[in-house]
Amino acid sequence: MSPHDDPLKQDEYRLILVRSGSHAIWTERDANKPRLPRVFALKWRRPAEQLQEVIEAAWTIRVILLDFLPANRGSVPCVIAEILSAASDLRLTPTAIDEIPVEEMNLEEREVLQAILDCNAGTRGPFSRAGWIKEALEWLRTEVGSDLAFTESIRQYNASGRFALLRFRTHAGSVLWLKATGEPNAHEFHVTRHLVDLCPEFLPAQIAAREDWNAWLMEDAGQSFDSLDLPALELAVLSMATLQKRTLSRTSEFQAAGAIDQRIGTLRAHLAELIDYLQEAMAKQISTKAPRLDSHRLSRLEAALRDACFRMEDLEIPDALVHNDVNPGNILFNETRCVFTDWCETGVGNPFIGFEYLSLLQPCRGEDWRPRLRKIYGQCWLDCLGASQVGEAFALAPLLAMLSNLYGRGTWLHTSRRNAPHVEGYARSLARQMDRVVQNSLLQGALCQ
């Protein structure tokens, strides 16, 4: 069975197709009644990217997704898309909103749809309205050149009222990107602008920004890090170290812009709270496939973590920016240059924790590249740190990186998210990994200094 045929591996959506300047929506006919078309997307891929592809292939049209409406009272969720092309044979019927049966669209959905058609985004955000993509193209031409001609293929990767990620291609072959973020990630706009000013060679070149959309335009910066090889990873390590060093005296600015406080002292201050949470999560464990850490083991882990925090603080390594979401898709290569994208999860903390995340990108099998990567990264810091500081920081970083990963933004500890089964399961997994790391001889040596 193909994944596309398995209902357990895909999500169903009702589709509302609209046109800018029209108050009709395009529907199918079912027993002479209007019916919203249905489309499907695989669960593990970006919904916006898939649904744009599916809709365009099914009806031979070009569309841009405007917003998603959540499922309500047993219905399936709804996606609203604007038709961009002039389709003469759409095989769908233009229908007034009030002709749609109530089982196809409830009152709340009709009100939202009416606002979208009236170009009234309200509190839903600047992209939850028909016609916004035309405005975006006009903005792009204003910033890049009024005579710039784009192909009809606009690829969409994120879509909602306040979030957007789109790729535009010109007839000349160049590629431009538009990205916008809303709450809880609105700070990425400000963090990115600070980084572009401070380290422009390590981010995609920014063309322009719009405060009212919380959006920015970027030049294409190359291919993602899909094919792992040692020279590329060495370049990424060297680039990240250089970027971090430039932020050493600017961390307060980045915190003011929205970067997460993940300094060692902050992690230590919340350690007891995190261990209490792990106690709760372990008590809820049902599976016997992995060991449950008892109170005694967790107390020992807490003591080791506290000692590691104190020891790292004693090294007096200055705080820097930590990416926190380093993955192959967020590292782009263009010949000899490496840039980093997606700074939403940016934190201020110990820079060696950032290296630890980056070093995990090497293949699981084959030669261990970490000694080579440590050497490159460590050498970058020898102009402001001693060799012993660097060596001890490398020994402490694996454990503290896990602690920082568990803490994250910290806010989740005070929300209902803490009780989500997948969050509890992930926390238990991290606790077991930390428990194994504290037995490492290098770490024990660093703690005994």
Q: Where are the domains of the chain?
A: 3-120, 132-219, 223-447
pLDDT attached to residue 87: 64
Specify the pairing of strand 93-96 against strand 331-334: unpaired
For 296-343, what is each residue's pLDDT tens digit?
A: 999 999 999 999 999 999 999 999 999 999 988 899 998 778 999 999
What is the pTM assigned to this prediction? Answer: 0.89
For 115-129, what is each residue's pLDDT tens digit?
A: 999 988 888 999 999
Please tell me if the domain spanning 3-120 has the same topology as the one spanning 223-447. Answer: no
pLDDT attached to residue 1: 33
| Type of residue numbered 35 | R
CATH 3.40.50.150 fits 223-447, yes or no: no
CA–CA distances in Å: residue 183 to residues 100, 125, 157, 173, 214: 33, 10, 18, 34, 10
Spatial contact of 67 and 127, defined as CB atoms under 8 Å apart: yes
Low-confidence ranges of the chain (pLDDT < 50): 1-3
pLDDT attached to residue 134: 93
CATH 3.30.200.20 fits 132-219, yes or no: yes
CATH 2.30.110.10 fits 3-120, yes or no: no
CA neighbours closer than 13 Å in the CB half-sphere of residue 113: 27
How many whole angstroms separate alpha carbon 78 and alpha carbon 59? 18
Residue 168: name the closest of 157, 159, 160 by CA.
157
pLDDT attached to residue 2: 41
pLDDT attached to residue 352: 98
pLDDT attached to residue 17: 95
For 376-415, what is each residue's pLDDT tens digit?
A: 999 999 999 999 999 999 999 999 999 999 999 999 999 9
pLDDT attached to residue 275: 97
Is the sign of the CA dihedral 61, 65, 71, 77 positive or negative? positive
